[in-house]
């Protein structure tokens, strides 16, 4: 029988008879497909917010229907419906993947017997919280992690029972680059973990997190947080815009009083250094890109879109200036709060 996980110390784990996934996202779909290919039972508890997310024009709800995956969508993780849904899953591998609920200790114990684990994609305890790859790009961090830790009622505070470390390629600049590489690495990591503990009860070399090194970063939202501050240094502006590039809609600013989104950028010092007062001015234009003055460099922009997502690059004029009023910049520091339904 599988040992009950003690959140204070884990000594052994396994065997694994099936999988329960809580949350959403692409990785959850890939794990469902792998489990089905292995003939391993899999159930999913998701939220209304995740259930309507689409991948290749298919919602998560439709994916479950097409793949015949047992699932339940709920706003309340401690509801009797969820408890009933998870009956007969005592020896399952319980994994949270971006789950929308706050797991209290009492809920963890009553729901899954203190056996809930969470997958975290950055170093712990230094980078707890959300915001994903946008924070990583902003900080210039190329280290990647696969960290499996116990959910103990705190925010990414439980002891780590398995981890791996890797490097993202140096040319990665957009969140989509990091995301695709992360999915490949973490899918392989999780499959190896499940295979290791699938048949036997084996010892675990767990690692307790030290609060001395901890830090926390909140979730981000492109519509709220992506307003460009044109007074920043050129390298900081470049990282900021990249942080909200694909798969997001782009960093935003105003052009002639209208909101626009900027994507697909790079820096070029070829034209020399500009004064801070010139920052944001479009000083050169071609058929497929524009040059924007920054403090000390040039921002080459290949993607410029209006609020409807239409390409407006060819409609801009040299001498026009991108700018973000102080009121919008101040609003960009607001913290987005999410519920199982979505953004509050």
Q: Give 152-178 pLDDT, tens digit per residue.
A: 888 889 999 999 999 999 999 999 999
- Binning pLDDT at 50, 70 and 90, where does residue 27 land? very high
Whether 13 has a pLDDT exceeding 60, the answer reads: yes
Q: Give 192-219 pLDDT, tens digit per residue.
A: 999 999 999 888 888 999 998 999 999 9
Q: Residue 6 has what pLDDT?
A: 41
Whether 15 has a pLDDT exceeding 90, the answer reads: yes
CB 110 within 8 A of CB 35: no
CA pair distance 2, 185, nearest whole angstrom: 27
Question: What's the mean pLDDT when you consider all of the chain?
Answer: 92
CA pair distance 141, 167, nearest whole angstrom: 9
pTM over 0.85: yes
Q: Residue 232 has what pLDDT?
A: 97
Whether 5 has a pLDDT exceeding 90, the answer reads: no
CA pair distance 249, 307, nearest whole angstrom: 10
Q: Residue 133 has what pLDDT?
A: 93
Q: Residue 102 has what pLDDT?
A: 86
Q: Give 44-65 pLDDT, tens digit per residue.
A: 999 999 999 999 999 999 999 9
Query: Strand 143-150 and strand 160-167: pairing?
Result: antiparallel
Name the more confident of 337 and 19: 19
Whether 3 has a pLDDT exceeding 60, the answer reads: no
Domain boundaries, the chain: 12-217, 222-336
CA pair distance 168, 205, nearest whole angstrom: 26
Q: Residue 34 has what pLDDT?
A: 98
CATH number, domain 12-217: 3.40.50.12230
- Binning pLDDT at 50, 70 and 90, where does residue 1 land? very low
Here the tokens at position 77 are 């993780």
Least confident of 34-38, 151-155, 259-263, 298-302: 151-155
Mean pLDDT computed over 251-258: 97
Query: Does CATH number 3.10.129.10 belong to domain 222-336?
Result: no
CB 276 within 8 A of CB 288: no
CB 165 within 8 A of CB 145: yes
Mean pLDDT computed over 285-296: 96
Q: Give 98-122 pLDDT, tens digit per residue.
A: 998 888 888 888 888 878 999 998 9
Q: Residue 112 has what pLDDT?
A: 85
Name the more confident of 102 and 67: 67
Q: Residue 9 has what pLDDT?
A: 58
Whether 2 has a pLDDT exceeding 50, the answer reads: no
């Amino acid at each position: 029988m599988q040992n009950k996980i003690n959140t204070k110390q884990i000594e052994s784990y396994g065997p694994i008879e099936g999988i329960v996934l809580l949350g959403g996202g692409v990785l959850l779909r890939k794990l469902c497909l792998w489990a089905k290919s292995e003939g391993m039972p899999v159930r999913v508890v998701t939220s209304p917010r995740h259930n309507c997310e689409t991948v290749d024009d298919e919602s998560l709800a439709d994916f479950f229907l097409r793949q015949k995956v047992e699932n339940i969508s709920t706003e309340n993780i401690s509801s009797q419906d969820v408890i009933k849904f998870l009956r007969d899953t005592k020896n399952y591998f319980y994994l949270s993947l971006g789950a929308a609920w706050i797991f209290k200790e009492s809920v963890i114990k009553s729901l899954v017997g203190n056996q809930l684990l969470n997958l975290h994609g950055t170093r712990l305890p230094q980078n707890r919280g959300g915001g994903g790859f946008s924070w990583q790009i902003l900080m210039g961090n190329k280290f990647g992690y696969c960290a499996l830790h116990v959910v103990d009622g705190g925010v990414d505070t439980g002891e780590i029972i398995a981890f791996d470390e890797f490097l993202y390629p140096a040319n990665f600049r957009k969140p989509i680059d990091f995301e695709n590489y992360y999915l490949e690495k973490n899918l392989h990591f999780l499959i190896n973990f499940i295979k290791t503990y699938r048949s036997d009860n084996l010892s675990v070399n767990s690692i307790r997190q030290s609060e001395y090194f901890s830090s926390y970063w909140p979730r981000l939202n492109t519509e709220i947080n992506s307003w460009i501050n044109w007074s920043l240094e050129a390298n900081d502006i470049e990282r900021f815009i990249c942080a909200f590039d694909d798969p997001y809609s782009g960093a935003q600013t105003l052009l002639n009083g209208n909101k626009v989104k900027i994507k697909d950028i790079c820096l070029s010092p070829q034209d020399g250094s500009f004064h801070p007062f010139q920052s944001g001015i479009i000083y050169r234009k071609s058929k497929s890109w524009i040059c924007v003055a920054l403090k000390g460099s040039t921002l080459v922009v290949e993607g410029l879109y209006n609020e409807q997502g239409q390409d407006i690059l060819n409609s801009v004029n040299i001498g026009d200036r991108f700018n973000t009023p102080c009121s919008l910049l101040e609003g960009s520091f607001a913290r987005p709060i999410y519920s199982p339904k979505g953004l509050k």
